[in-house]
Chain A
């Protein structure tokens, strides 16, 4: 069966510090991968998606970046965090073909102070 992992689960970082959130998927190959951010009282916002290694599409311009160094690894990064980067970050995966279903990870709660 497929599983998706995210870490860390919670993170408190000062403004201006770097960020690295990691997401890995097990039990599948060549998945589509997604990074979302969920702010309080707002719907999920798609940040990045990837259909393959090294292929990243950005939905919203901001000070975040994403990378996919391996087929089942998706990393969200920032060189300098802003207060507005606080939120709940969710990674999700979808089979590359044949299914609409999207599966979410457990999330990372980021607080920028």
Chain B
């Protein structure tokens, strides 16, 4: 069964500090892994997307890593800002017969950045 597990479930950090969110998955055959940021009451917004051959990708202060061997990914946020407060969702895509893909969503890490 395809699963995506994220940790921690929630996190509180002070503004300006760094943090790392974790994602472990058991999805096959693996196609790609995505990180989304979802503000409360809004739709998710894509931060990064990585395929099997990519092990790191950055988007501003967000850096995602992927270890396809251990089936782990992390999202590192540098110099956090109050606006980083949101839910961060890890999504893993599996290839399906016929050329499509099927997404498995994690439940997200709820990040709160405080002064």
Contacts and interface: CB of A to CB of B under 8 A. Distances in A.
A107 B42 CA distance: 6
Interface stretch (B56-64, B70-78, B100-108): B100-108
Q: Is the interface of A mostly helix, strand, loop or mixed?
A: loop
Interface in A28-84: 41-46
A107 B106 contact: no
B14 interface: no
Interface residues of B, number: 22
Interface string B88-112: 0100010000000101111110000
Contacts of A109: 41
B107 A100 contact: no
B55 interface: no
B19 interface: no
A102 B103 CA distance: 10
Q: Which residue, B31, B44, B89, B108, has most C-beta atoms of chain A within 10 A?
A: B44
B112 to A, nearest CB: 16
Contacts of A41: 107
B42 A106 contact: yes
Nearest to A49: B100
Question: Which 7 pairs, one residue from A and one from B, show the smallest C-beta to C-beta distance?
Answer: A104-B43, A43-B105, A44-B105, A43-B107, A104-B44, A107-B43, A100-B32
10 contacts: A41-B107, A43-B4, A43-B104, A44-B89, A45-B105, A90-B43, A100-B93, A102-B46, A104-B43, A106-B42
